[in-house]
Amino acid sequence: MSNYYDLTAREKEAFVMLPIIEELKQLGGEAANDEIKRALVAGDHGLPEDVLVATKMGKNGPFKPFDFTFNFGVRNMIMAGYLERPRRGVVALLAQGRAVTETDRQAFTAKVFAVSDPKWEELSKKKQKAREAAAANDETIEEVEESQENAWQTKLLDALNNLSATKFETFCRALVHRMNIEIDETIGISPTGDGGLDGYGYLTTDDLQTVRVALQAKKWTNSVVSSPEIDKFRGAMDKFRADYGIFITTSTFTQNAVAAARTGSKMITLVDGDRLTKLVAKYEVYVHPVTTYELDDFFTTED
C-alpha cells in the first residue's frame, strides 16, 4: 500500500471514501465529523496515526490538510447519493450508502467519481453562477462555517504548542478546574517530585461522593502519544491513589495508547487536540466567542 502522505489530493479523497462508509455503518449510520475522523484512524484503514493533527502553514495561518481531504471525500459521496448532512457537523448514510457492499476501494471510488466528476465540472463551467449558487446553498455555507471553525481550532492548537511546558500545564489545570475539579495546591504543581503528575484534584459528584483525579498534560507537535506514556501515567496515579486520570495532549493517541487507557481497574480519559479545542470553547478558558452578522436576502432581491 502506498504511503498516504505520498498520494495526490484526489488519491487521498479516494483513499478515505469507502472507509467513511464502513465507519458510519459501525457508528449506527450517523455521526459527527470528528467522531468519524477518529474512527477512521482507529480502524484498520492504513491511515497514519498522526493524520488528524498534522498541520501545514497557509496564507492565513496553520491548517489541517486532512480536514480538506475528509470534507471533499464526503462532498463527493453526497453528490453521488451515498451520504447527506442532516445538520451542521453531522454526516449520515442514505439508503444507497447503507447498501454498499464493496470491499475494493478502487472499484467503489470509481463509481463515486463517475457521478461526482461531471457535477464538479458543471459547477466549474460558469464560475460566477457557481459562486452565486454556492452563496445561496445551505450545504456550502455549512462547509464554509466548518472550515472557519477548523481554522480557529488549528490556531488555538498552534498557540498552545508555543506555550512553555509549565504554562501549558497551568492551562490544563485551569481547564479541569472550570469543569468542577478542585485543584490540589500541593500535588502536581511542582516541576519535580510529583511522580510525573501535572495536576491533581477532587471531583464531588451530585450524590456527594468525592473522587481523586490525576492529570497529565503533554504538548507534542511531531509525534503521537503511545502506550508507554499511558503506563507511566498510571504508575503516577497509583502512587497518589487517584481514582481515575485525565491525559491531555495537543497531539493524538496511538491505538495501543487507547487500549492501554481502557485496561486495568482505573480508567484514564484521553483528551486529544481536537477534543481539547472543543472543551476550551465550551468552558471559554482564555478564549471568548465573537459574534458576527450576515446580511439578509433583502439586500440581494430585486425591488
Give yes or no: residues 27 and 114 share one domain. Answer: yes
Query: For the chain, what is the mean pLDDT?
Result: 87
**Upper half-sphere CA count for residue 65 (Cβ side, 13 Å):** 16
In a domain, 298, yes or no: no
| Separation CA 174–CA 115 (nearest Å) | 50
Residue that is last in its domain, among 159, 194, 220: 159
Our count of domains for the chain comes to 2
Model pLDDT, residue 116: 95
Give this prediction's pTM.
Answer: 0.72
Condensed to tens digits (0 to 9), the pLDDT of residues 35-70 reads 999 899 888 899 998 888 788 877 777 788 999 999
In a domain, 294, yes or no: no
In a domain, 290, yes or no: no
Give yes or no: residues 74 and 118 share one domain. Answer: yes
Give yes or no: residues 153 and 175 share one domain. Answer: no
Give yes or no: residues 12 and 155 share one domain. Answer: yes
Grid look-up 464502513 returns 22
Grid look-up 479541569 returns 176
Give yes or no: residues 74 and 184 share one domain. Answer: no
Of 60-69, 216-225, 264-273, highest mean pLDDT: 264-273
In a domain, 82, yes or no: yes
In a domain, 96, yes or no: yes
Model pLDDT, residue 255: 87
Non-local (6+) Cβ contacts of 57 within 8 A are 63
Residue that is last in its domain, among 112, 144, 159: 159
Model pLDDT, residue 212: 96
CATH no. for residue 188?
Answer: 3.40.1350.10
Give yes or no: residues 147 and 170 share one domain. Answer: no
Give yes or no: residues 98 and 11 share one domain. Answer: yes
Give yes or no: residues 44 and 71 share one domain. Answer: yes
Model pLDDT, residue 70: 95
Mean pLDDT (whole number) for 208-236? 92
Give yes or no: residues 82 and 215 share one domain. Answer: no
In a domain, 260, yes or no: yes
In a domain, 296, yes or no: no
Give yes or no: residues 147 and 171 share one domain. Answer: no
Condensed to tens digits (0 to 9), the pLDDT of residues 168-210 reads 999 999 999 999 999 999 887 776 655 679 999 999 988 899 9
Non-local (6+) Cβ contacts of 164 within 8 A are none
Grid look-up 502522505 returns 5
Give yes or no: residues 17 and 40 share one domain. Answer: yes
In a domain, 303, yes or no: no
Q: Note whether 13 and 76 are within 8 A (CB).
A: yes
Residue 137 pLDDT grade (very low, low, confident, very high; cuts 50, 70, 90):
low
Q: Is the pLDDT of residue 221 over 90?
A: no
Residue-number span of the structural domain to which 189 is assigned: 164-283
DSSP per position, 26-64: HTTSEEEHHHHHHHHHHSSS---TTTTT--EEETTEEE-
| Separation CA 235–CA 245 (nearest Å) | 11
Give yes or no: residues 8 and 140 share one domain. Answer: yes
